[in-house]
Structure 1
Amino acid sequence: MPKAYWISTYRAVKDADKLAAYAKLAGPALTSNGARFLARGMPSKVYELGVMQRTVLIEFDSVEQATAAHDSPAYKEALAALGDGADREIRIIEAV
């Protein structure tokens, strides 16, 4: 079964306190579901139509594991803490 990657990009952070509350809950919620954080922060360089925005890259053993982590009660609690504190996008893709 191929590994999966969860890629989050933050278009805007509207409330740093809400983001901090989310991060405090999201990290443990995801790692307890098999997440391995590979990279997070601002890009070192962007090309073409790239946008300089916070990005998080997480590895899972499968798409199913990543999806289960996202849909878990613990992660839903983290999402509730974030609320409208950030505009972001999450993509889960299967490794080749």
Structure 2
Amino acid sequence: MRPTATRLPGVALELKDGTIFSGSYAENAAFNPTLPPLQGALNLLSLNGYDYPAIQRAILAEKADAALIQWDATVATLKALGCHNIERVLLG
């Protein structure tokens, strides 16, 4: 993917108290590695004083034909953190 790519993936995490944190794919041609959308959302969650067990639901939105699919890594990470209510929205 390139820095000017469109329709980059995004994640929304809904917590048990109704709070929602989102993250998007962060890419910079000058730096490596990039940040996947889940990492951005988890960083915001932590920076706001929440713990991972507070996550009750997650949604990943990404293109079905993207060069880099986030689904498998997102599901594996969220399940390891205790979240099993995970949905995927495929963008056209």
**Larger strand proportion, structure 1 or 2?**
1
Structure 1 length as normaliser, TM-score?
0.31
Return the structure number with greater relative CO, CA threshold 8 A, min gap 6.
1
* Bigger proportion of residues as helix: 1
